[in-house]
Structure 1
Amino acid sequence: MIPPAESLLKYDNPVLVTRNTEKKSPKARSLKVSPQQVVITGPVPPPPKSKSPSVDVNKQTEEILNAILPPREWTENNQLWVQQVSSTPCTRMDVVHLQEQLDLKLQQRQARETGICPVRRELYSQCFDELIRQVTINCAERGLLLLRVRDEIRMTIAAYQTLYESSVAFGMRKALQAEQGKSDMEKRISDLEDEKRDLERQLNEQKAKCDAIEKREAERRQVEEKKHNEELQFLKRTNQQLKAQLEGIIAPKK
């Protein structure tokens, strides 16, 4: 027989329910409890009264324990084995041993001390189930209240996990969009740089043309100024000659 993985939750010895899983009796099938079934969150109705009060209380406690912590089942060679949680009351040494086992398993399975760690979460969940079992044996109402606390914690963790997964998916979408946008921006930057180089080339050509035009106009202006000065000097000389001739003509008449 290959029992399930060892757990911090205390179980009784496994019991063989049937030798053929396909030919189980209705009574044997009724013992099967799915691990995913909805557990009770309210008070369990008491069973019919029996002659022995202690037997009645023990039976009610076992029913509550089986409802809170369903038995685990496995098959081997067409044989169905069922293992229910233990209904044996715990002592102080059991609690100390549970703490030691928790620390040992955390170390053996190399659970991370901080951050998200499925191994640490699983072990602490088993430890909490064992504490619920121990409390339920002494006080069923307290055990049911702890059950509500456990279910609320699990529901909260599931909500946070869903939120985390949706956040990761949203982050991945944004990252992909950013990568796509990055490639588009890189292409646009490359196009703008090419356009900038083309405009710089055109600017340099226009500057060269402007410099050539300024140089050519400066030379033309110098030539024209020189020509103008020469004409001005020629006119001045001509004016002086004409003035001298006019004075020579007018002087004898005096």
Structure 2
Amino acid sequence: PQARSAKGTPSPPPRTPGAVSPSPKHPQELLNAILPPREWEEAQKLWVQEVSTAPSTRRDVVQLQEQLDRQLQQRQARETGLCPVRRELYTQCFDELIRQTTVSCAERGLLLLRVRDELQLTLAAYQALYESSVAFGVRKALQAEQGKALMEKRIAELEEERKELEKQVSEEKAKCEAIEQQETERREIEEKKHNEEVLFLKRTNQQLK
């Protein structure tokens, strides 16, 4: 069995946008094309909720704005940046404005529909670009972290090489100092021996005279 929902019926699921009919005959058909009716099953019945064709008043617009502000606050929508909650609420508000405009002027309603669809395409493109940029940033951060780890490893290796070279320099310096000490001692011994030989020869020469 099927039934059309009336005021007070169970809450319907979210509406899925559909294609706009080229030339609807009645305002309800135009609204159904712009904002497709919501359909759901409950108690083995198919419920259908169509968009209202009732014209809006100034009070309705004020209430719409108040409801939007209240929902933004209650659902804690972010004021800046990408926010799915804020986007959803503003989309619903825009749909209602399109409905109100279409009831009074179908042409303006269709124009607003084009604006809405273009905005959604633009937002989708920006969101894809944002997600791509975030993914790129994450990859770069990971690469930088890996590069940092490799650089730290290389620095540690160079530090070990520096210590080893300093050790070798110290050893070679000690060897040079030992060789210089040995050479100094050898020269002193040879000089002493030479002086003793000269002194001996002088004494021998004096004795021969």
CA distance in 2, matches of 1:116, 1:147: 22
Aligned CA distance change for structure 1 residues 235 and 65 (closer, same or farther; 3 Å) = farther
Structure 2 residue runs of 5 or longer lacking an equivalent are 1-8
Counterpart of 2:190?
224
Amino acid aligned to 1:2: P
Counterpart of 2:159?
193
Counterpart of 2:11?
3
Counterpart of 2:23?
45
Deviation at 1:127, TM superposition (A): 1.0
Question: Residues 111 and 117 of structure 1 are in contact (CA less than 8 Å); yes or no, is this contact kept in structure 2?
Answer: yes
What TM-score, normalized to structure 2? 0.83
Aligned CA distance change for structure 1 residues 2 and 217 (closer, same or farther; 3 Å) = farther
Select which of 99, 105, 110 maps to 1:144: 110
Deviation at 1:115, TM superposition (A): 2.5
Counterpart of 1:96?
62
CA distance in 2, matches of 1:112, 1:94: 26
Can you list the C-alpha shifts for 1:55-88, whole angstroms capped at 9, x where unaligned?
Answer: xxxx2x2222111111122221332211111111
* 1:160 maps to 2:126: yes
Counterpart of 1:20?
none
Amino acid aligned to 1:72: R
- Kindly report which structure 2 residues correspond to 1:173-252, keeping only aligned pairs within 5 A, or say none: 173-236=139-202, 241=206, 245=209
Question: Residues 65 and 136 of structure 1 are in contact (CA less than 8 Å); yes or no, is this contact kept in structure 2?
Answer: yes
Count of aligned positions: 201
Deviation at 1:235, TM superposition (A): 4.5
Aligned CA distance change for structure 1 residues 238 and 133 (closer, same or farther; 3 Å) = farther
Question: Residues 44 and 64 of structure 1 are in contact (CA less than 8 Å); yes or no, is this contact kept in structure 2?
Answer: no
Please identify the structure whose Cα radius of gyration is greater.
Answer: 1
Aligned CA distance change for structure 1 residues 225 and 163 (closer, same or farther; 3 Å) = same
Aligned CA distance change for structure 1 residues 46 and 79 (closer, same or farther; 3 Å) = closer
CA distance in 1, matches of 2:115, 2:200: 120
CA distance in 1, matches of 2:111, 2:201: 126
Select which of 1, 19, 38 maps to 1:72: 38
Question: Residues 136 and 144 of structure 1 are in contact (CA less than 8 Å); yes or no, is this contact kept in structure 2?
Answer: yes
Alpha-carbon RMSD across the aligned residues, in angstroms, is 2.5
CA distance in 2, matches of 1:171, 1:104: 36
What TM-score, normalized to structure 1? 0.70
Could you say what secondary structure the match of 2:150 adopts? helix
Aligned CA distance change for structure 1 residues 236 and 150 (closer, same or farther; 3 Å) = farther
CA distance in 1, matches of 2:163, 2:33: 78
CA distance in 1, matches of 2:148, 2:56: 63
